């Protein structure tokens, strides 16, 4: 088990680099070529300053085919093992499958990033037993249909109620509260307007006094606004940081860190002006 407590207590946000190991991303030349390509992508993000690498083998895009736990294990476990041979970077696993959680925990990871918030049978117990950190993400509906007319009473209040219940369930299952991270799930059962509201009102998710994570990177709400989706994502992530986001899940580690450094230096200099 890798502990993120120290990293989470730093003043600066954590940048989580996205490593997709779905066949469409890393499978042009057989299994070994796939693992090597994934490794070099992970090491590049680490060099660029990523604090965590999020390894995912299930695509949650609308219309994506369901994957079996076996398929997901075959994709994810060899990549985790390979990264661990070459780097001490904390690893997060993007999965909803208890089988994958369990195998990954045995290999040694820091956290589970679950877009289904540990809702599958046995998931919470695995996180508890291995003292893993876990990101509980909000999603309305299921990946295949979540974007057909999502509706809320009050978006932020509804998500906060979901967080309240999910945190309570996790604590009852034996997970320490301080292992939990909350994510409002940008793009998961949200309209364009909902997604913008999430960023505008992001600070309201701080009421739980748990770290807030966001995944804005390259998503369609942002590419609809900006032709340059990388620059657009960096802008969204800066706003999220200013609203208190603690973990930024991104494809573009270098660009995100450059922008964060500038904003943090300006903030630091402003505090100095007060003296
Ligand atoms: C281009 C690239 C367009 C990627 C869309 C996407 C989140 C997440 C995803 C998130 C947390 C994605 C696994 C969707 N999004 N986990 N995972 N929060 N915690 N789409 O927002 O990146 S996958």
pLDDT for the residue 29 = 54
Ranges 11-20, 32-41, 122-131, 231-240: which has the least confidence: 32-41
pLDDT for the residue 31 = 64
- CB of 163 sitting under 6 A from ligand 1: no
- What percentage of the chain reaches a pLDDT higher than 70? 97
> What average pLDDT does the segment 189-215 reach?
98
- Asked whether residue 250 carries a pLDDT value surpassing 90, the answer given is yes
- CB of 213 sitting under 6 A from ligand 1: yes
Q: How far is CA 246 from CA 37, 88, 178, in A?
A: 29, 21, 14
pLDDT for the residue 275 = 75
> What average pLDDT does the segment 243-259 reach?
98
Helices first, then strands: H and E counts in the chain: 11, 8
Architecture of domain 5-274 in this structure: Alpha-Beta Barrel (3.20)
Dump the DSSP string for 16-34. Answer: EEEEE-SHHHH-SSHHHHH
CA-nearest residue for atom 12, ligand 1, is 219
Set 75, 219, 224, 246: catalytic member:
219
- CB of 219 sitting under 6 A from ligand 1: yes
d(CA 21, CA 219) in angstroms, rounded, equals 18
CA-nearest residue for atom 7, ligand 1, is 215
- What percentage of the chain reaches a pLDDT higher than 90? 87
14 C-alpha to ligand 1 centroid (Å): 16
Please provide the average confidence, as pLDDT, over all residues in the chain: 95
pLDDT, tens digit, for every residue of 11-61?
999 999 999 998 776 655 566 678 999 999 999 999 999 999 999 999 887
CA-nearest residue for atom 6, ligand 1, is 219
pLDDT, tens digit, for every residue of 96-114?
999 999 999 999 999 999 9
pLDDT for the residue 30 = 62
pLDDT, tens digit, for every residue of 64-82?
888 899 999 999 999 999 9
- CB of 252 sitting under 6 A from ligand 1: no
Give the helix/strand (H/E) hosting 193. helix 192-200
Q: Full-prediction pTM beyond 0.85?
A: yes
Set 246, 249, 264, 268: catalytic member:
249
Q: Among 60, 181, 230, say which to mutate for ligand 1: greatest number of ligand atoms within 8 Å of CB.
A: 60
pLDDT for the residue 64 = 80
Per domain, the residue ranges of the chain are 5-274
d(CA 258, CA 268) in angstroms, rounded, equals 15
pLDDT for the residue 59 = 84
d(CA 117, CA 123) in angstroms, rounded, equals 9
Tokens of 212: 């807030």
pLDDT for the residue 127 = 98
275 C-alpha to ligand 1 centroid (Å): 42
- Contact between residue 136 and residue 111 where contact means Cβ atoms under 8 Å apart: no
217 C-alpha to ligand 1 centroid (Å): 7
218 C-alpha to ligand 1 centroid (Å): 9
């Amino acid at each position: 088990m890798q502990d993120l407590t120290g990293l989470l207590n730093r003043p600066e946000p954590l940048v989580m680099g996205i490593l997709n190991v779905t066949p469409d991303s890393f499978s042009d030349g057989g299994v070994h070529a796939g693992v090597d390509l994934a490794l070099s992508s992970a090491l590049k993000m680490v060099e660029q300053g990523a604090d965590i690498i999020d390894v995912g083998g299930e695509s949650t895009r609308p219309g994506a085919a369901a994957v079996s736990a076996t398929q997901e294990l075959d994709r994810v476990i060899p990549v985790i093992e390979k990264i661990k041979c070459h780097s001490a970077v904390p690893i997060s696993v993007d999965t909803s499958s208890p089988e994958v959680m369990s195998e990954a925990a045995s290999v040694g990871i820091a956290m589970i990033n679950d877009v289904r918030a540990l809702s599958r049978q046995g998931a919470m117990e695995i996180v508890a037993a291995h003292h893993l950190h876990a990101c509980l993400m909000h999603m309305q509906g299921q990946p295949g249909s979540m974007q057909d007319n999502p509706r809320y009473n009050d978006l932020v209040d509804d998500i906060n109620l979901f967080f309240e219940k999910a945190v309570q369930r996790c604590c009852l299952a034996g997970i320490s509260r301080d292992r939990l991270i909350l994510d409002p799930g940008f793009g998961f059962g949200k309209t364009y307007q909902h997604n913008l509201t999430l960023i505008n009102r992001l600070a309201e998710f701080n009421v739980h006094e748990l770290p807030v994570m966001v995944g804005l990177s390259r998503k369609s709400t942002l590419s609809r606004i900006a032709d340059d989706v990388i620059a657009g994502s960096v802008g969204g992530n800066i706003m999220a940081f200013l609203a208190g986001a603690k973990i930024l899940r991104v494809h573009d580690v270098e660009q995100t860190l450059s922008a964060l450094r500038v904003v943090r230096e300006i903030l630091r200099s402003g505090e100095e002006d007060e003296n």
